[in-house]
């Protein structure tokens, strides 16, 4: 049975600040450096939401010069149908404050253009009565995200108090997140420490890349666990949480993740072999909590693992 909840939401006073490194049209600059569509950018400009060095921008053809600062004040009202769907999900842990879900590869975390249903949020709305609402109606309970094709553990907040607590822990890098990945190539190092900044790819806004332009610090530690003839199973520990961080960093050091549809090539329907297998943190109760999950059975399918 599907339960339909039709809601409206308003994103107010959400500011994004960017600095231009070249002379470029304002709409293209914002598109290259954000997740906004061209239509959304035009709407933001039309509703007085874009400023360059403090001056209001009124046209999408406005030219931004190198060194100028662009501030986007997002004030877009949208209507969305939130559907509670009876989708099977695996609960790895639950108490009065949080839920930890072992997400399947291929499942989007929350609704977005092109993914209005079938997401983890749609499943959460069906299976759980109480979820925090700090992130609005399209992301109830969502404290952090993992990629669509990444499987594994994701923390969900049942109330706003726990949401604020865990969001602050994540901001302070006090939620320890551990991943396992199967990469192409034999990694013979004992450990690889990757510390290179990540930003949006200026040639493809759907991708991230290692770059010094409009980027943020990104640190990943990679530990080989088992070396095969043509592959290596690695453990990854994050110090930062940038978009696509592990995928971009592993490709950068020439060990791309098997089946990565964005930074490599698709192998099968399971896609990338990247699994968030462990979370550890000090709970809001004051106790230390560590939750682990096993690799999905599909992780090694269609792969020749000769030693």
Q: Which residues on adjacent β-strands are paired with residue 4?
A: 83
- The answer to pTM > 0.85 is no
d(CA 108, CA 93): 20
d(CA 186, CA 184): 7
As averages over each run of 10 residues, the pLDDT of the chain (307 residues) reads 36 62 87 76 84 90 90 60 89 98 94 80 94 84 92 97 94 93 94 95 87 91 96 95 94 96 91 96 98 95 83
Task: Please report the pLDDT score of residue 54 as a whole number.
Answer: 86
Structure tokens, 24: 């470029």
d(CA 87, CA 123): 5
d(CA 281, CA 284): 9
Tell me, yes or no, if 130 is annotated catalytic. Answer: no
The 3-state DSSP class for residue 116 equals coil
Q: Give me the phi and psi of 251, to 5 degrees please.
A: -65, -40
Contact 40, 88 (CB under 8 A): no
Positive or negative: CA dihedral 207, 209, 214, 220: positive
Structure tokens, 191: 């450990």
| CA distance readout (Å), 116 to 35, 121, 138, 187 | 17, 10, 10, 40
Contact 183, 234 (CB under 8 A): yes
| CA distance readout (Å), 277 to 92, 110, 234 | 11, 20, 12
d(CA 203, CA 207): 9
Pick from 168, 160, 154, 159: which is nearest to 100 by CA?
154
Task: Please report the pLDDT score of residue 79 as a whole number.
Answer: 47
Pick from 236, 153, 242: which is nearest to 187 by CA?
236
Q: Give me the phi and psi of 176, to 5 degrees please.
A: -85, 125
Which residue carries 């930074």 as its tokens?
263
Dihedral (Cα; 292, 93, 115, 134), 10-degree rounding: -120
Burial of 183 (0-12, 13-18, 19+ CB in 10 A): buried
| CA distance readout (Å), 147 to 31, 67, 72 | 21, 32, 25
Q: Which residues on adjacent β-strands are paired with residue 152?
A: 103, 276
Say which DSSP state 195 is in.
E
The 3-state DSSP class for residue 67 equals coil
Structure tokens, 306: 């000769």
d(CA 147, CA 263): 13
Residues written for the chain: 307
Task: Please report the pLDDT score of residue 6 as a whole number.
Answer: 36
The 3-state DSSP class for residue 82 equals strand
Say which DSSP state 300 is in.
G
Q: Which of 27, 35, 117, 147 does the annotation list as catalytic?
A: 147
């Amino acid at each position: 049975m599907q339960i339909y909840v039709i809601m409206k939401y308003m994103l107010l006073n959400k500011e994004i600040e960017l600095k231009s490194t070249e002379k470029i049209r304002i709409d293209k600059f914002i598109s290259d450096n954000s997740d906004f569509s061209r239509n959304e950018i035009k709407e933001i400009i039309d509703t007085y939401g874009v400023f360059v060095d403090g001056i209001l921008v009124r046209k999408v053809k406005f030219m931004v010069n190198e060194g100028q600062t662009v501030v986007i004040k997002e004030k877009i009202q949208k209507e969305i149908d939130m559907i509670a769907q009876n989708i099977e999900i695996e609960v790895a842990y639950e108490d009065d404050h949080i839920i930890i879900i072992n997400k399947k590869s291929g499942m989007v975390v929350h609704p977005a253009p092109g993914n209005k249903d079938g997401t983890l949020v749609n499943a959460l709305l069906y299976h759980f009565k109480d979820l925090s609402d700090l992130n609005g109606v399209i992301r109830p309970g969502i404290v952090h995200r993992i990629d669509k094709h990444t499987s594994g553990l994701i923390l969900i907040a049942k109330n706003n108090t726990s949401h604020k607590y865990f969001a602050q822990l994540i901001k302070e890098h006090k939620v320890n997140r551990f991943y396992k990945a199967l990469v192409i190539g034999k990694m013979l190092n004992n450990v690889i420490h990757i510390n290179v900044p990540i930003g949006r790819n200026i040639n493809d806004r759907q991708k991230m890349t290692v770059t010094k332009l409009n980027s943020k610090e990104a640190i990943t530690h990679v530990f080989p666990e088992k070396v095969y003839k043509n592959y290596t199973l690695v453990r990854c520990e994050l110090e930062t949480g940038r978009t696509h961080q592990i995928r971009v960093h592993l490709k950068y050091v020439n060990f791309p993740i098997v089946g990565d549809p964005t930074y490599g090539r698709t192998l099968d329907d399971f896609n990338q072999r990247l699994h968030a297998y462990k979370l550890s943190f000090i709970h809001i109760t004051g106790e230390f909590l560590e939750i682990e999950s096993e690799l999905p059975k599909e992780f090694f399918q269609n792969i020749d693992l000769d030693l």
